[in-house]
Amino acid sequence: MPPDHNLADYVDAPTAHRHGGPLRVGLGGPVGSGKTALAAALCRTLGAEYDLAVVTNDIYTTEDADFLRRNAVLPDDRIEAVQTGCCPHTAIRDDITANLDAVELLEARHPGLELVFVESGGDNLTASFSYGLVDVQVFVVDVAGGDKVPRKGGPGVTASDLLVVNKTDLAPLVGADLDVMRRDSATVRGDRPTLLISLREDPAATEVAAWVREQVRVRRLQQG
Amino acid sequence: MTAALLTLADSRLPAGGHTHSGGVEQAIAAGHVHDPASLAAFLLRRLTTAGAVTAGLAAAATTRSSSGRHRGHVPSPGARSPAGSSSGEPPAPASSELVAALRHLDGEADARTPSPALRAASRQQGRGLVRVGRRAWPSPVWDALPAAPHHPVALGVAAAAGGLTPRDAAAAAAYLSVSGPATAAQRLLALDPLTVAAVTARLAPAIDAVADDALRDGLPADTDPLLDLLAEVHATRGDRFFAS
Amino acid sequence: MGARAGARPPAAAGLITRVEVVARRGPGGRTVLPVVRGSGQLAVRRTGPASVHLVATAFGPLGGDDAEVRLVVEEGATLAVRTVAAAVALPDRAGDRPSAQRVVAEVAGTLDLRPEPTVVAARASHRAELVATLAPGAVLTATEQVLLGRTGEEPGRWTGTTRVVVGGRPLLHTTVGLGPGAPAWLPPVAPRAYASTVHVGQAAGVLTADDAVRLPLENGWVATAWGAELHRVVRAVEAVA
């Protein structure tokens, strides 16, 4: 060890990797919980308000991107699909290079971009986004996965900036107790918000969209 | 060799390598790779063609980036500089000669990579390596690189910035030419990871030989038309897991 | 043109072959060939106003032989180069030296280089090299056809390097190694027959087929095919060319 070593020398400047730019929102969660449907809903609701784009990480290259295109949510040049090498959680957490490339490509193509959603490939409850890739992250679970999901925790459930419990309309059918899910979420998440929604009943994802608006506002304040 | 080489060749270095299969995904689809022995054959073909070329380019890029006043200044705590870690002489600016030398190597890489899919994969990985390399080993030599350089050229610059030798850069390039595809095959075929680790480990003498050859005069140009074909067919698929 | 048919020097020396052809734009825009010169194993015959055939005057090449064919096509001129028969590369009688043939072309006009196949006999090793330096606007078509082993024979070893430089910038530089001992010639893809065509002058995009691929170059392309039988491989490369 050099005699004059200084811990600060080991760490590069904390702002080195971000220079303004759009708010990057991660959308994660298990397979089938409704990430793509939520992304589509948010694009429909917020597309007129913000200059926005989406990066998809489906395990197969283009399926989610094709879904978004089919639903005419966004023009093609605002959707980028990345390959994750059979490892969707690696691509959003351990080696975010491919996703950064995609985000930067979208930023270069649309210089006025205000909001980018990065939708992860479906993974398990331990998957979460690196904050090197996104500014805030939403974790999407659904009631059909069982009302024990919030209690089980995992980084996505406990540490995400917003937990969304989707498909509340199915609760009576699958015997899920929404009150249990709400209470367990509050227990494991502390002050972090949880929203119980049904995209079938509210295709605009009104509450989630409101949360995203607030994040954009906060980021703008932080950036001055 | 310094420990920087271990970082540079580590598959966990977040430079985007994990999303590339080095042709293995399509080789599996075409039936060329299906078990450890056929994987070993594939890795050898790749090592002695694409691997040899990248090793030569990486070594040359390190030589250019390290020579004389172009030597990368490394203000990291690991650098044994009598002037200390952050008070050394200011880094030399990226000279126009170095810019031209690296652009020349990038052009030679293009000439050795006629497949558009492989060019794109190389440049995508080069860009990823520059992103992490600039943070890990700050140096003015990074500024001499073209935008989205070929991966071996970026690798050579990273080696220079990390205080490594051309032989180190060649070794990293040769190793990376097989380690990524080996992992990809393991994932896609659900092979025993211990078996795959053994295949990779036993390639060490061949990897060393490729790295040694990379230092000889003249850049290698070995190519495998099969890899070009696989890469182009792969690029047209909508159902692939890997970028290349 | 100094070689006598069938005459060979002592085995250890190896035969030195030198060919030079210069094509120049003459009066009225017609190509003239002011230099047509061959020595060693290859004679050069004028077979048209702007075409020559190379004629082997000895069997081989043998391991240790060295041939260099220098082609200069000046601006506004056209040159077609052919050979009259397949070349059969044979093993070194004295050791295991490869035979070598280099084509060094400087092209500002149009060069069309289409030799007959090279057959590499068992235990022989042959190195072919094409270095083409093109002026901007030059047109090049160069083909290569290789068969490892004569009928019923084990394959020989062939290494082919192609380097094309246009306007000082490298356009293509590849080395293909085929045959026993070539590091990337491994099952399940270890073909006996190989064909390749490089073209500069007209762009074409990617095209893939079974064991054949065409790749785009700036203002050109390179097509490659491989397989068990040469006639099929030649058809395959023509299909993607």
Report the complex ipTM.
0.94
Q: Is A30 annotated as a binding residue?
A: yes
Would you tell me how many other CB atoms lie within 10 Å of the CB of residue C191?
Answer: 22
Locate the chain C residue with the closest alpha carbon to B218: C173
The one-letter amino acid code at A182 reads R
Locate the chain A residue with the closest alpha carbon to B188: A86
Give the whole-number percent of chain C exceeding pLDDT 70. 95
How far apart CA B73 and CA A144 sit, in angstroms, is 57
**Contact in structure between B17 and B176 (CB atoms under 8 Å):** yes
How far apart CA A156 and CA A165 sit, in angstroms, is 12
Q: What is the DSSP letter of B141?
A: G
Chains that touch B (3 or more CB pairs under 8 A): A, C
pLDDT at B74: 38
Backbone angles phi, psi at A23, to 5 degrees: -70, 130
pLDDT at C133: 98
Backbone angles phi, psi at B169, to 5 degrees: -60, -40
Q: Provide the mean pLDDT of chain A.
A: 89
Locate the chain A residue with the closest alpha carbon to B80: A2
Is B119 an interface residue toward A (CB < 8 Å)?
no
How far apart CA A55 and CA A98 sit, in angstroms, is 10
The one-letter amino acid code at A205 reads A
Domain ranges of chain C: 15-193
Backbone angles phi, psi at A51, to 5 degrees: -80, 105
Domain B16-74+92-235: give its CATH superfamily: Urease accessory protein UreF (1.10.4190.10)
Would you tell me how many other CB atoms lie within 10 Å of the CB of residue A23?
Answer: 22
In this structure, the dihedral spanned by the alpha carbons of residues A124, A130, A131 and A134, taken in order and rounded to 10 degrees, is -70
Is C173 an interface residue toward B (CB < 8 Å)?
yes
Contact C170 B115 (CB under 8 A): no
pLDDT at A70: 77
Would you tell me how many other CB atoms lie within 10 Å of the CB of residue C210?
Answer: 9
For the residues C26-52, what does the mean pLDDT come to? 95
Domain ranges of chain B: 16-74+92-235
Q: Which two tokens stand for residue C22?
A: 């210069």
Calculate how close chain A gets to B217, using CA atoms only, in Å.
Answer: 34
Kind of pairing between the strands at C220-227 and C193-200: antiparallel
Does the structure show a pLDDT above 50 at C220?
yes
Q: For the stretch B134-145, what's the b/e string if a residue is b when 16 or more beta carbons lie within 10 angstroms of its beta carbon?
A: bebbbbbbbebb
What is the distance between the terminal CA atoms of chain C, rounded to a whole angstrom?
A: 35
Q: What's chain B's length in residues?
A: 244
How far apart CA C15 and CA C89 sit, in angstroms, is 13
pLDDT at B93: 52
pTM across the whole model: 0.91
Q: Which two tokens stand for residue A76?
A: 């093609």
Contact B184 A86 (CB under 8 A): yes
Contact B128 A97 (CB under 8 A): yes
Contact B108 C211 (CB under 8 A): no
Which residues of B are less than 8 Å from C206 in CB distance? 116, 232
Which residues of B are less than 8 Å from C173 in CB distance? 108, 111-112, 219, 221
pLDDT at B86: 33
**Interface probe with B: pick from A94, A97, A104, A105, most Cβ of B within 10 Å:** A97
Does the structure show a pLDDT above 90 at A17?
no
Sheet with A162-166, side-by-side order of all strands: A79-81, A52-56, A115-119, A23-28, A136-142, A162-166, A194-196
Band the pLDDT of A59: cuts 50, 70, 90.
low
Contacts of A88 (CB under 8 A, 6+ apart): A57, A59, A120, A121, A122, A123, A127
Contacts of A183 (CB under 8 A, 6+ apart): none
pLDDT at A15: 52
Element containing residue C195 per DSSP (H, E): strand C193-200
Q: Which of C170, C177, C211 sits opposite B222 (nearest CB)?
A: C177
Is C215 an interface residue toward B (CB < 8 Å)?
yes
Contacts of A17 (CB under 8 A, 6+ apart): A132, B135
pLDDT-flagged residues of chain B (< 70)? 1, 67-93
Backbone angles phi, psi at A40, to 5 degrees: -65, -45
How far apart CA C119 and CA C112 sit, in angstroms, is 21
For the residues C128-154, what does the mean pLDDT come to? 97
Is C158 an interface residue toward B (CB < 8 Å)?
no
**Interface probe with B: pick from A19, A61, A86, A104, most Cβ of B within 10 Å:** A86
How far apart CA C196 and CA C172 sit, in angstroms, is 13
User: If you classify domain A20-219 with CATH, what class do you get?
Assistant: alpha beta
Calculate how close chain C gets to B221, using CA atoms only, in Å.
Answer: 5
Calculate how close chain B gets to C171, using CA atoms only, in Å.
Answer: 5
pLDDT at C6: 52
